Amino acid sequence: MSDPDPLFPPGFRWGVATAAFQIEGAWNADGKGPSNWDTRAHHAGGLAGGATGDVACDHYHRLTEDLDLMAGLGVGSYRFSVSWPRVQPAGHGRWNGRGLAFYDRLVDGLLARRIEPLLTVYHWDHPQPVEDAGGWAARDTAARFADYAEGLAVRFGDRVRRWLTLNEPLSVMHAELSGRPGPRARRHGLRVAHHLMLGHGLAVPRLRAHAPDAAIGISLNLAGTTPATDRPADLTAADRAEAYEDRLFLDPLLRGDYPHLDGRPVIEADEADRRLIAAPLDFVGVNWYAPARVAASAAGVFGYARVPFPDVRTNLLGWPVAPEQLGALLAWLRADYPELPPIEITENGYPDVDEPDATGSVPDLPRIAYLRACLHQVRAALDAGSDIRGYHVWSLLDNLEWDHGYRPRFGLVHVDFATLARTPKASYRWYRQLISAQRSDGKDGRACSG
């Protein structure tokens, strides 16, 4: 018998999360320009199964239905991203009024349903002209991004009180490593990482200028690192993994410099850049799915490689299913970063096949068990002194899982990609009941500051 659902403090924020490219579709509608991911998907061999984001979940045309699904859940927060090429197709200059109007309807629809918008400025899709100009490998992209962020703040800052600049800069960096030899990949990846951080640092004061009462954060995918063995080479590899992944963004954001290995910062940056990047944050988003176990590897770009956990089952994507390691990560953050601002879990989810049964129901019980176990770890971390203000399930809807195409399903709501029909799964009903139980105990996740 599984543990009962944990109860959380008053004001704890309950939410769901999505990203524009993964759900919106309407890839060239109403003045939207192509994104780097549209181009990739349309290229032969781009995404698994020939998937594209051309239609995806058709959220762009089914906005009201999806807003009502969120309202039915009882969530108090919705984390979404703006598609940069939908609102500024060239990546600079002219804004697309029809694209901006879609996000007006989204924000207003959320507020009308007493759901707080959590706007992610960048969740991996940028205009193809930005990619053609060098993408994040070009320093100028950081300046373009800051201009873009400011434009969003001008438009939405009167209604959006919570902002995330970037989603998972580590994942963006890793996507840039493939196809390059080791030393070249390392230099290129670290250049991309620095420009992402610089874009963040340039954007923060622009957001504050036009949304002065808003809380500003960033979402980082932090795994937590375990050495494969106690051999010195693997212990060193674990230190390197921690530096090149978890600390690569936390240190410059919170401590004003990149992590050091062998007495030197892993990225050399001048003082002016470091000051910009370390602009004070109101919260840090943590995206967590699985831990990392690493071993020394000469083939690895940074001198290490991920290896399987012994005797730990894996999910559909091959990730270890080890929810207790979320607690270990939160403990590490608490111990190593006393300067850390409040945390929000901005993504946590479970991929599966999730096909309807003979009755049309989707009994995704493994997802419920996994999310419940993760929430117990979050509750334990709160009890141990972590300042965690909210939790967002990835994802509201089954969607386009980037390179993996449409087979992995993360949603609380099943999407039939042939008909686009939405069917709430067992996990939707479980999450609705969990949220309701918090409120019936006097805990309302709709009104939490920070």
Report the alpha-carbon distance of residue 113 to residue 23 in Å, rounded: 20
For residue 46, how many C-alpha atoms fall within 13 Å in the half-sphere facing its CB? 16
- Widest pairwise Cα distance in the chain: 62
Please check whether residue 346 is in contact with residue 164, taking contact to mean a CB–CB distance below 8 angstroms.
yes
Kindly report the three-state secondary structure assignment for every residue of 103-138.
HHHHHHHHHHCCCEEEEEEECCCCEHHHHHCCHHHC
168 carries an active-site annotation: yes
- Helix/strand/coil for 224: coil
Find the length of the chain: 450
Question: CB within 8 A of 138, min separation 6: which ones?
Answer: 195
Residue 218: both structure tokens together = 């960033």
Report the alpha-carbon distance of residue 56 to residue 396 in Å, rounded: 14
Strands 343-347 and 388-394: parallel
- Hey, what amino acid is at 217? G
Name the DSSP class of 6: P
For residue 410, how many C-alpha atoms fall within 13 Å in the half-sphere facing its CB? 24
Report the alpha-carbon distance of residue 382 to residue 309 in Å, rounded: 27
Report the alpha-carbon distance of residue 278 to residue 284 in Å, rounded: 13
Q: Of residues 116, 150, 168, 176, which has the active-site annotation? A: 168
**Buried b / exposed e along 414-424 (16+ C-beta atoms within 10 A):** bbebeebebbb
347 carries an active-site annotation: yes
Q: Of residues 24, 131, 347, 401, which has the active-site annotation? A: 347
Question: CB within 8 A of 103, min separation 6: which ones?
Answer: 82, 87, 155, 156
Catalytic residues: 168, 347
